[in-house]
Amino acid sequence: MSGTANKKCPHVNDCPMFGMFTLSGTLRIWQDNYCHDEYARCERYVRAQRGEIVPKTLMPNGKSLTVVTKPAP
Amino acid sequence: MDYLPFWAGGIALTTVVLLHYGLLHSQIGVSGRITALVNRVRAKAHHEPELSDEDMLAALRAMTASEFGDDAVAETPTPAASVIPATLPTSSHLLFFGGLVLGGFIATRAVSAFQWTPTLSGALFTRFADGGPLAYLMLFGGGLLVGVGTRMSGGCTSGHGLGGVPRLERGSLLATAAFFGAGIAVSVLMEVLS
């Protein structure tokens, strides 16, 4: 281990958004910016630490993801 | 009560940790799975809609472009871990806990005859509480403290002890030293007082 370089949010194992970020290489930028050294500024982390419900669509930057669900065939 | 030799337990635990990481690409953690289940129940209670990974991905790509610019969404190789679903289904958590109980049963049967003992019969524990209501109160209080401590430290014995310590994570080293140290100290204290 080298200093704080390997710091990782303690919620990565149960954070659904972290799991989503692993589904596409494009989305790794969110992990790089919010899930490692800088996780304390992740809004999901902040709310989890306060014991609040963290909506599945809440992004680390505090914005809410607008998901358009496809109608069932 | 008889136990398996310590080295057999060590090999078994190491195997489980490696298999968990190899198959699911995530660190093992019992409390994390409980948290996931509780959060799922809470989300249902708040009527949070079920969203497919596909719909989420489409929305995430749009959000990524608006946050980091169009260049950021130029296709980047997808990591191998992506074959794992973003969120494990509830059934996988329940299966895991079922496995814990079954594994404990098998391990017990391997070294001694199984005997159902629905009493609080630990020798040291009995000396203090004598199996009465106080014993249940102590158990409840102890369990409550474990739960609070687990949430405060972001993990339990499995997450910190089995997952974090081998990776030399400082938080896990500190947490493991704290809960094992406290356990030893309390055991010694109880021996002295009894």
Q: What is the pLDDT of residue B154?
A: 79
Per-residue model confidence as pLDDT tens digits over B6-54? 898 899 989 998 998 888 777 788 888 888 788 778 777 766 666 677 7
Question: What is the pTM (predicted TM-score) of this model?
Answer: 0.65
Backbone angles phi, psi at A58, to 5 degrees: -75, 125
Cα A53 from Cα B177, distance rounded (Å): 31
| Nearest to B66, CA basis, from A34, A45, A18, A61 | A61
Q: What is the pLDDT of residue B81?
A: 45
Q: What is the pLDDT of residue A61?
A: 92
Q: What is the pLDDT of residue B83?
A: 46
Dig out the tokens for B126 from the structure.
């009995």
Which residues does chain B have within 8 Å of residue A69's beta carbon, measured at their own beta carbons? 49, 51-52, 55
Q: Which long-range contacts (CB under 8 A, 24 or more apart) does B61-65 make?
A: B61/A24, B61/A26, B61/A27, B63/A59, B63/A63, B63/A65, B64/A26, B64/A27, B64/A29, B64/A30
Per-residue model confidence as pLDDT tens digits over B108-145? 888 888 777 766 666 667 777 776 787 788 888 989 99
B79 contacts A61? CB cut-off 8 A: no
Cβ contact B54:A61 at 8 Å: no
Query: Smallest CA–CA separation between B189 and chain A, in Å?
Result: 33
Give me the mean pLDDT over the B68-72 stretch: 77
Cβ contact B178:B172 at 8 Å: no
Cα B10 from Cα A70, distance rounded (Å): 48
Q: Collapsing DSSP states into helix, strand and coil, what is residue A46?
A: helix
Sorting pLDDT into bands at 50, 70 and 90, what band is A1? very low
Q: What is the pLDDT of residue A8?
A: 77
Instruction: Give DSSP secondary structure letters for A3-45.
Output: TTTT---TTTTT-HHHHHHTS-GGGHHHIIIIISTTGGG-HHH
Tokens 């391990």 locate to B107
The closest CB to that of B82, out of A22, A55, A59, belongs to: A22
For A18, which residue in chain B has the nearest alpha carbon? Answer: B86
Q: What is the pLDDT of residue B177?
A: 95
Which of A56, A58, A68 to mutate to probe the B interface, most B CBs <10 Å? A56
Give me the mean pLDDT over the B86-98 stretch: 82
Per-residue model confidence as pLDDT tens digits over A21-32? 877 778 888 998
Sorting pLDDT into bands at 50, 70 and 90, what band is A5? very low
Q: What is the pLDDT of residue B89?
A: 78
Q: Collapsing DSSP states into helix, strand and coil, what is residue A2?
A: coil
Tokens 């994390």 locate to B32
List Cβ neighbours of B108 (8 Å cut-off, separation of 6 or more): B114
Cβ contact B37:A45 at 8 Å: no
Between residues B4 and A31, the one the model is more confident about: A31
- Using CA atoms in the order B149, B27, B101, B182, what is the torsion angle rounded to 10 degrees? -30
8-state DSSP, A62: S
For A16, which residue in chain B has the nearest alpha carbon? Answer: B87
8-state DSSP, A58: B
For A67, which residue in chain B has the nearest alpha carbon? Answer: B59
Cα B173 from Cα B53, distance rounded (Å): 35
Between residues B81 and B52, the one the model is more confident about: B52
